[in-house]
Structure 1
């Protein structure tokens, strides 16, 4: 008997994108003679940026491949850590976060990761900026990830900032440079002499600290030793998470 359907074996890591009642490793789809394999996969609810590769009998095929009856397709998840194509002169991936991930953006900046964020940007503008600046778009919006124009995106797993940060660090293992970026605007901090900002400091701060940095973008001032134990623990945990991926 000739198999009339396409059979897809979906990686366990991708089952979360399927409806809860239909989260099965094997799925059957009737071919229509026109849809590409990429379209078939996304029609199940799985954004293509979350797919590492598509293989048939061990041979990788492109999302543009037109599947035929009897094909057995393995849908693999993106390997971790994921390697991101870097733009000219770039040594580390850059990110753009959608409007719902403000806390995650601030935590990435705390770690020295280039994380752009705007709380008033719509979906087309997010895609345009991600493409223009060669940034990975981070979101929990599956529809946004399915936009064909998007250069590269990633679904953020987890609902708490702590879980989201762990997921991103495990997925991309970006180089970390804690305490080097402005958590407010993402600018890179530069050293500043104490006497230059003396009038801007409260007396207690002026007496207690001698090493300062300032954001050239927004003017925010930072000083060494002012970090709470909570922030210190975020940094320590992040360094451990990235080191475990290398």
Structure 2
């Protein structure tokens, strides 16, 4: 058995008991314990961690903790480029895409509205979500801390907000998504690409009141729904403008 000193920063403290938040504390560790093992044993999912410093040096999750070491654990940095320091993950994700757990259906729809490929099924269990994340290199979105501790999940985000609108604000701020949106490019229900539909074809599939007012349409090849820029579209557009404006003006911090 060895003893190391730990300190967690910013929102990572939310996962700790109150007596360990925002302060250094000593903790016994098994002789073969890695930083990943101890971080998760203390209650923090490894997917929430962006940087680990041991005695001031950046290390990976596989670092074996030695007696007397000081371990500082950091979440995502919003205002400081630390790319050259990062060692906790072998590869970054090439594309931002998500898989959401059963509690985040509303958020999944809003992310699709913003153009982010987001898999969601109310019947997905934790094992399926972890397998999908590993297979497709998807970021797991969840309110289940234990799910994020699964070994095969490399990228994940614990969602703190309770309402979909606030969740969208949170995810945009934490993952810096504002510059990557492609609004209304995916079907909200199917997660499939939308494509333009000729007005003469769309009019045969749209209500008379819509045919009289709109000339631009889109459709999904899976569900065959037809979309137009009506009042619902304008409300979604306003929400996206609000979220993007907030994320750009004020980087999120916990």
Q: Is the shorter-chain TM-score for this pair beyond 0.5, marking a shared fold?
A: yes
Q: Tell me if structure 2 keeps the 8 A contact 1:138–1:153.
A: yes
Q: Which residue of 1 aligns with 2:248?
A: 243
The whole-number CA distance in structure 2 between the counterparts of 1:226 and 1:195 is: 22
Equivalences, count: 238
Q: Tell me if structure 1 keeps the 8 A contact 2:98–2:119.
A: yes
Select 1:126's aligned residue among 109, 129, 136. 129
Q: Tell me if structure 2 keeps the 8 A contact 1:12–1:25.
A: no
Q: Tell me if structure 2 keeps the 8 A contact 1:169–1:241.
A: no
Structure 1 stretch 60-69 or stretch 144-153: which is displaced more?
A: 60-69
The whole-number CA distance in structure 2 between the counterparts of 1:21 and 1:151 is: 29
Q: Tell me if structure 1 keeps the 8 A contact 2:9–2:22.
A: no
The whole-number CA distance in structure 1 between the counterparts of 2:141 and 2:101 is: 6
Q: Tell me if structure 1 keeps the 8 A contact 2:100–2:108.
A: yes
The whole-number CA distance in structure 2 between the counterparts of 1:24 and 1:134 is: 32
Q: Which residue of 2 aligns with 1:177?
A: 182
Matched, 1:48 2:46: yes
Q: Which residue of 2 aligns with 1:166?
A: 169
Q: Which residue of 1 aligns with 2:34?
A: 36
Q: Tell me if structure 1 keeps the 8 A contact 2:47–2:153.
A: no
Q: Normalising to structure 2: TM-score of the pair?
A: 0.86
Q: Which residue of 2 aligns with 1:85?
A: 92
Task: In structure 2, list runs of 5 or more residues that go unmatched.
Answer: 84-90
- Following superposition, which runs of at least 4 residues in structure 1 exceed 4 angstroms of deviation? 81-84
The whole-number CA distance in structure 1 between the counterparts of 2:154 and 2:20 is: 30
Q: Which residue of 2 aligns with 1:116?
A: 119
Q: Which residue of 2 aligns with 1:143?
A: 146
Q: Tell me if structure 2 keeps the 8 A contact 1:14–1:50.
A: yes
The whole-number CA distance in structure 1 between the counterparts of 2:23 and 2:176 is: 28
Q: Which residue of 2 aligns with 1:70?
A: 68
Structure 1 stretch 140-149 or stretch 4-13: which is displaced more?
A: 4-13
1:15 to partner: Cα distance: 0.4
Select 2:217's aligned residue among 208, 212, 220. 212
Q: Tell me if structure 1 keeps the 8 A contact 2:144–2:158.
A: yes
Q: Tell me if structure 2 keeps the 8 A contact 1:49–1:153.
A: yes
Task: In structure 1, list runs of 5 or more residues that go unmatched.
Answer: none
Summarize deviations over 1:182-204 as a string: whole Å, max 9, x none: 11111111000122132321111
